[in-house]
């Protein structure tokens, strides 16, 4: 069993990103990323902090806007409009999920697609479906694809099963894996809560992407020997023996499943670092396109 180390692969992506930033800076251009956080959700706050820190380390101009949970839809739309018009900002990310009174889909649609480094704007979703390389791909699926490529996994012709159909991971992941060319050409099945006999489908997978948000959902009987497993899940489970009273686990029962795998990602240290790495890479791509 090979452990796919997302932390190490993310470091490689960051080094590539640093070189691209240096090239832009030599032309007097500094990539700019604006991250908007509404409310004080602890997980979102920690995630935004890590993004801000990584951007600073790489040399990206990072602008963080923290709005109170009482901020209105109009407040947020006005801020997005200002960021769209700011030439120093090449990428805009509004941290999800916002408070319940915010229409998240409307906020996403308000972002300039050329600055939508999260890849959620309908224009970018359409470009992904159309194999148009000028769009932005959501960061987590893009990171998963890079993990597979860096691990030397044969994707072309493989049977890939994606567990989950969200717009954040499942659907774009399926589109990426079935796309023509490098990192694609797989035969893809998407499994979801209404699928019948899920275990029978997942056992057919050469590559299994687990992104369902349920701790330990994928058990040993759901995976055949020699499968490559990418575990997207990051779930908190109570653990009184842990310093924080909880630990992070994935959607895969790692201890039971790992011995059967050709390769597998850990949680933490697998997909998580890659999501931020691809966000930074997307931001630099936006700056390069603006400078072209």
Residues designated catalytic: 51, 95, 118
Question: From residue 216, how far is each of 33, 37, 78, 178, 194 by CA, in Å?
Answer: 35, 30, 41, 27, 19
Distance between first and last Cα of the chain: 44
Phi, psi of 112 (to 5 degrees): -55, 120
Question: From residue 19, how far is each of 16, 59, 87, 199, 206 by CA, in Å?
Answer: 5, 10, 22, 44, 35
Classify burial at 176, counting beta carbons within 10 Å of its beta carbon; exposed 0-12, middle 13-18, buried 19 or more. buried
CA distance 14 to 228: 24
CA distance 233 to 266: 10
Among the listed residues 86, 262, 249, 60, the one whose alpha carbon sits nearest the alpha carbon of residue 158: 262
CA distance 210 to 191: 10
Beta pairing partners, 247: 237
- What lies within 8 Å, CB to CB, of 162 at 6+ separation is 170, 173, 174, 177, 188, 189, 190, 191, 209, 211
């Amino acid at each position: 069993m090979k452990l796919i180390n997302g932390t190490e692969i993310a470091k490689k992506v960051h080094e590539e990103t640093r070189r691209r930033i240096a090239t832009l800076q030599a032309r007097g251009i500094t990539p700019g990323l604006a991250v908007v956080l509404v409310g004080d959700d602890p997980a979102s706050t920690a995630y935004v902090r890590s993004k801000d820190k990584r951007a600073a380390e790489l040399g990206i101009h990072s602008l963080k806007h923290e709005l109170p949970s009482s901020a209105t839809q109009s407040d947020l739309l006005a801020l997005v409009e200002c960021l769209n018009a700011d030439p120093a900002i090449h990428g805009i990310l509004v941290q999800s999920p916002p408070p319940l009174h915010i229409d998240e889909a409307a906020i996403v649609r308000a972002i300039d697609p050329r600055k939508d480094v999260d890849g959620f704007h309908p224009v970018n979703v359409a470009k992904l479906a159309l194999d148009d390389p000028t769009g932005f791909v959501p960061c987590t699926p893009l990171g998963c694809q890079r993990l597979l490529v860096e691990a030397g996994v044969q994707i072309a012709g493989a049977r890939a099963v994606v567990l989950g159909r969200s717009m954040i991971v499942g659907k774009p992941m399926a589109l990426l894996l079935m796309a023509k060319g490098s990192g694609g050409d797989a035969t893809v099945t998407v499994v979801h809560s209404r699928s019948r006999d899920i275990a029978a489908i997942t056992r057919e997978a050469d590559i299994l992407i687990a992104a369902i948000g349920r701790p330990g959902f994928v058990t040993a009987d759901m995976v055949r020997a020699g499968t490559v497993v990418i575990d997207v899940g990051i779930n908190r489970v109570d653990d009184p023996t842990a310093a924080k009273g909880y630990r992070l686990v994935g959607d895969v029962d790692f201890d039971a499943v790992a011995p059967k795998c050709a390769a597998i990602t850990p949680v933490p240290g697998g997909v998580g670092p890659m999501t931020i790495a691809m966000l930074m890479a997307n931001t630099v791509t936006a700056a390069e396109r603006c400078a072209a």
